[in-house]
């Protein structure tokens, strides 16, 4: 189970929700836990204006972990189209922490442009 602190959920973000990116405003009231990486079990795909994590790869994806309340989590779900587009799922980060993250089913990824470094900012 993902870690909940004071009724908050820890969420791993890796694209347009990162600090300095256009959708970060949705995390304005969230608490930054810190920078993190996934285990090397994913692919990071460039879908144009935003990325997607796909399970089954060999890349450690770079991002940030935030503690969000239920209202912020609902806003993130709307932005990410959960569960019809992205699916919010529990993942284990490098180091063992379990968090929520938005993953894209491989069959929905229309791009094969991988970001080999695992860092959206390197695109």
Helix (H) or strand (E) holding 70, with range, is helix 70-80
Phi-psi region of 59 (alpha: psi -120 to 50; beta: other; left: phi over 0): beta
Annotation marks residue 41 as catalytic:
no
Q: Compute the distance between CA of residue 19 and CA of residue 25 in angstroms, rounded to an integer.
A: 9
Residue 33 CA to residue 118 CA, distance in Å, equals 20
3-state class (DSSP) for residue 72: helix
Q: Which of 35, 80, 100, 112 is catalytic?
A: 80
The residue assigned the tokens 């209202």 is 71
Taken as a whole, the chain contains a residue count of 123
Query: Which residues form the catalytic set?
Result: 80
């Amino acid at each position: 189970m993902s870690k909940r602190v004071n009724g908050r959920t820890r969420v791993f973000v890796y694209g347009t929700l990162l600090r300095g990116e256009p959708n970060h405003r949705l995390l304005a009231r969230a608490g930054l836990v810190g920078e993190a990486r996934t285990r090397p079990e994913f692919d990071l795909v460039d879908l144009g204006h935003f990325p997607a994590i796909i399970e089954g790869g060999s890349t450690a994806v770079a991002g940030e972990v935030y503690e969000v309340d239920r209202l912020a989590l609902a806003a993130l779900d709307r932005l990410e189209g959960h569960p019809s587009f992205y699916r919010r799922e529990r993942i284990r980060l490098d180091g063992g922490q379990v968090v929520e993250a938005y993953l894209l089913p491989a069959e929905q990824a229309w791009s094969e442009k991988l970001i080999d470094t695992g860092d959206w900012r390197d695109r």
